[in-house]
Chain A
């Protein structure tokens, strides 16, 4: 379906959408993995990359190969938290017509096709809030079946108003903590995060790395100790070995993005390869 066509569609929540609120769906997904003695696997696909249909296929492949939750990146013109891989994918998606409407439609398609896996879009603040309060974007994502939202450049310092907006829409608002976040602030961020808290594993931008950041152990343990919600670890998490290591640290989830985009190949169409990597990552979760 093209972005233009999707824009014309009504936006009621799909009949098959699960009933509980976004934060509850996310918590259940983490709890389910925990019950199986695993960390939850949260793969990431870039919405509309390389085109709407392939990104939908990639999302299904990720889910069918073992995703516990799915993160859908909304392509953005100025993704300053992202490294080369996601910048390139984001730009290519925009080039081929990616839009907010199309992202909403992708979320709807995925949550309709696989209603049991919570979908959490990730965006930049200007796409969601911009000059307003973010309510229209939050309502539309929630109506399409999204369970939560990660906003890469929104911290609790600026997020108070949007926290209410997201809660009203039934969306979890996932804040991020970083290795540079002081302990007391980790506590405050985790306390205001709903669904889960996103632990940025390294000081830097997104992108596949050969090894995990030094210091990730104390960081994950500190966040875990401070957080009332599950802790997902991302940025630079690329390989099954990384997943195993993070699982041992006691995290609740791992978020894998750039290496999956890399797996799609230079043209972004190698969905089978992405599926194989997700499967391998899943096997490393527990």
Chain B
């Protein structure tokens, strides 16, 4: 994906101020920055969820496979191509199976075999299959927080997105669940492109191939993760990653 001079405004206040950034195929791009730096607005703009916010406006260009996302008429299709996993796990009040199939079924009916294949494939890719394979008809609300978050990942995977956006996906999880989610992300990048917004700089250091640092709606720098964490070009990046502010 290519992002060119992207502005996002809510009413008169700008959350993103002219960001230009590339997201490479099959990489995990980490996005770090203090709160209110525009990280989440960036994600909202990418799959046009920002359209749903009254008063929000977007300027600039976002290209997905050289196609301007603003020009895509079928916004539902765009959102299937660019999936998102939110900060808190939000299982819908239905069974585990129905949760996974929720997005896949929006477009067309699935026959039984197909549905089973989607459920198993998605849950395996989200590292959840072994824990739930015997109770797919259980309410998703009965799962633990970590399991719910992996279920949400499986649900996003089930619509076969090219790009998956993660909006602080582990902020409510314990270290073991976090490790499982990170493991899943590591596997997913072989077939998907991942953008990981995180408040936890260590998480970016662990899983991101490249990392972007946002501050007050501006992109200060983007580079290979080792470089950002060991030898950043901007002193403010160094201050942030070493925990001097943020």
Q: Do A and B bind each other?
A: no
